[in-house]
Amino acid sequence: MQNTSRLVTEQHLVEVGEGQAVGAILYRAQEPTTGAHLVLAHGAGAGQTSAFIRDFAAALAERGVGVLTFNFPYMEAKRRLPDRPEILENCFRATIDAMGKLIGAGSGLFIGGKSMGGRIASQFAARPGPVPLGLAGLVLLGYPLHPPGKPDQLRTGHLPQLKLPVLIFQGTRDVFGTPDELRPWFTGPGVSIRPVEGGDHSFKIPKSRGRDQEEVFSEIQDGIRDWVVEVAH
């Protein structure tokens, strides 16, 4: 079990343009630090204080990876429908800039998120031109390849433009796409797709599998830490 007694969090506001600001929470890396940092975005239906985002951010900070979470503008305003893609991507850029100022130069900086948050991170990283803002890689937690029950509505148009190493954890019961469905679209030597056996879109495992849920989450968090350290160094 990780020691949470030393966990340090900080509340910040990130200016995202047009007089708007969104809340962000920095989870400071505990010692020994890895030198890696992650900007972690929430999914479509729950913000940065959801149990999934909060627990994963804290667990990674305990493992020496600093994490900055944030709300997209629609979530900050307590609206149900996500903003247009360009607004979501611009919010990501502003949050990455904020993270750079908070941690200083010379650190391995990764971006990613749960479900929609990871998709928006990948869209931002696939923008034309050089790798944005010196990013080191992407961490995608349950990539939403397609809507449930609609495998023909693929969210893959930007994927060939990705230039960064990519780590994906994907449940084998994920109705938004299984690991096998993802493999034809995420290719290249820098891609690592890690199946979560029996996991759903949030990596929840049926009790019939006989596995402890916290142990499953811990293995995923260990895997993220080990991968970002390897890529950053």
Those residues whose C-beta lies under 8 Å from the C-beta of residue 191, and which sit 6 or more positions away, are 165, 166, 168
pLDDT 10s digits, 56-109: 999 999 999 999 999 999 999 999 999 999 999 999 999 999 998 998 755 699
Those residues whose C-beta lies under 8 Å from the C-beta of residue 117, and which sit 6 or more positions away, are 40, 41, 42, 43, 72
pLDDT 10s digits, 23-34: 999 999 999 999
Q: What is the CATH number of domain 8-232?
A: 3.40.50.1820
With tokens 């696939």, the residue in question is 126
pLDDT confidence tier of residue 48, bands split at 50, 70 and 90: very high
CA distance 139 to 114: 9
* pTM, entire model: 0.94
SS (H, E, C) the chain: CCCCCCCEEEEEEEEEECCEEEEEEEEECCCCCCCEEEEEECCCCCCCCCHHHHHHHHHHHHCCCEEEEECCHHHHCCCCCCCCHHHHHHHHHHHHHHHHHHHCCCCEEEEEEECHHHHHHHHHHCCCCCCHHHCCEEEEECCCCCCCCCCCCCCCCCHHHCCCCEEEEEECCCCCCCHHHHCCCCCCCCEEEEEECCCCCCCCCCHHHCCCHHHHHHHHHHHHHHHHHHHHC
With tokens 């990596």, the residue in question is 203
pLDDT 10s digits, 172-224: 999 999 999 999 999 988 999 999 999 999 999 999 998 999 999 999 999 99
Q: What percent of the chain has pLDDT over 70?
A: 96
**174-203: b (≥16 Cβ within 10 Å) or e:** bebbebebbeebbeeeebbbebbebbbbbb
Residue 153 has what pLDDT? 97
pLDDT confidence tier of residue 18, bands split at 50, 70 and 90: confident
pLDDT confidence tier of residue 138, bands split at 50, 70 and 90: very high
CA distance 14 to 222: 29
CA distance 41 to 139: 10
What average pLDDT does the structure give for the chain?
93
Structure tokens at 147: 């809507």
The domains of the chain are located at: 8-232
Phi/psi for 172 (5° steps) reads -75, -10
pLDDT confidence tier of residue 5, bands split at 50, 70 and 90: low
Range in 17-21, 78-82, 130-134 the model is least confident about: 130-134
CA distance 73 to 54: 18
Residue 2 has what pLDDT? 47
**Above 90 in pLDDT, residue 16?**
yes
